[in-house]
Amino acid sequence: MKGTIVLPSKKEAGTVIGLTALFLLLTAVCIGLRPEHVFMVGLYLLLFFAGKTTRKLAVALLPFALFGISYDWMRVFPNYEANSIDVENLYNLEKSLFGINDNGNILIPCEYFAIHNCRIADILAGIFYLCWVPVPIAFGLWLYLKGYRNLYLHFSMVFLFVNLIGFAGYYLHPAAPPWYAINYGFEPILDTPGNVAGLGRFDTLTGLSIFDSIYGRNANVFAAVPSLHAAYMVVALCYAIVNKCNKFVIILFAIIMAGIWGTAVYTSHHYIIDVTLGICCALLGILLFEKGLMKTGWFKNFFNRYIITLNNVPMKEFLRIGTLFIAS
């Protein structure tokens, strides 16, 4: 009947409710339950149970949900417990490679811009940095809603994969951001709160506390390498090109990408080294996913199942595809 809400099966409903309850329980025990956890779980359950269309969207958003969960759960085992924190070596390497002579003093670029900045650049910096996550996620939603489900899944999974590579980098080489070395010196202080650094100038000029509220929640400041700020728009731009989006979108994405790269250094949140490694992280993630994971049988089989779920293809068609794939 038209307008009737199609509920999930008892098995589907039980699985989702059970998993979300387990997530809330483990989160409460391991890292502490916060209002945003409850809100996001409530929103996800609303999408899942509201109807068939929103349920497919909830399933499609899983890669982004897993990104958020994995980032949050790094609080359980902080990266500085795995390896020693690099503060001085990274600072000195940046100075040796990109040092700027300012009246006889050799400064890293971040130190130079902390002294030499302007209002227009401060405003643009804030705007660019606010595009960091929202623009890639909005692009992903656009791909999904326009019906480019296959490309959407490639993009969203690569987004998650790039994050996991970046998180691995955090553990392999815990590193302090430039603002830490500038403000605190080279000795790691584990309970150092997050810092808006140069983005505070945007907050001051606009009379808002956007970045103060964002960075005030940062539980671990020693996760600067690689710069995932630099990585996300690389992924978005690559898949915008693959999707043959119009030139305006591609140029806009390229401008935002370059703007984020520049802002990361201009506001003392990342070294040029961090940004470069973030770009490499994105390109490596795309390459390994498309030329590695997508070439393996088990993952391609999983990917096909996922696509079928999003496109609502009959299971018998999936079995036919899976049989052909295994036979090949």
Is the pTM value of this prediction over 0.85? yes
| E strand or H helix that includes residue 100 | strand 100-102
- Is residue 324 scored above 70 in pLDDT? no
Is residue 216 pLDDT above 80, yes or no? Answer: no
AA letter at 185: G
Q: Which residues pair with 105 in a beta bridge?
A: 102
pLDDT at 177 over 50: yes
- Top mean-pLDDT range of 64-78, 225-239, 304-318: 225-239
4 pLDDT band, cuts 50/70/90, is low
Angle at 235 between CA 79 and CA 263, to 5 degrees: 70
pLDDT at 322: 41
Mean local confidence (pLDDT), 23-33: 92
- 59-89, pLDDT tens digit by residue? 999 999 999 999 999 989 999 999 999 999 9
139: tokens are 């692009």
Q: What angle do CA 71, 64, 32 make, to 5 degrees?
A: 40
Quick one: pLDDT band at residue 5, thresholds 50, 70, 90? low
For residue 252, the model assigns a pLDDT of 97
- Going by C-alpha positions, the residue among 100, 99, 104, 8 that lies closest to residue 47 is 8
* CA distances for 81 relative to 129, 152, 174, 267, angstroms: 29, 36, 9, 28
Report which of residues 165 and 324 the model is more confident about. Answer: 165
Residue 263: name the closest of 58, 122, 77, 96 by CA: 122
Residues 6+ apart with CB under 8 A from 227: 264, 269, 270, 274, 275, 277, 278
Tokens (6 digits) for 56: 């497919």
User: Measured between alpha carbons, how far is 181 from 114 in angstroms, rounded to an integer?
Assistant: 13
The share of the chain scoring above pLDDT 90, in percent, equals 76
Residue 313 banded pLDDT, cuts 50, 70, 90: very low
Please name every residue paired with 100 in a beta bridge, in sequence order, or none if there are none.
107
Could you tell me if 205 and 122 are in contact, meaning their C-beta atoms sit under 8 angstroms apart? yes
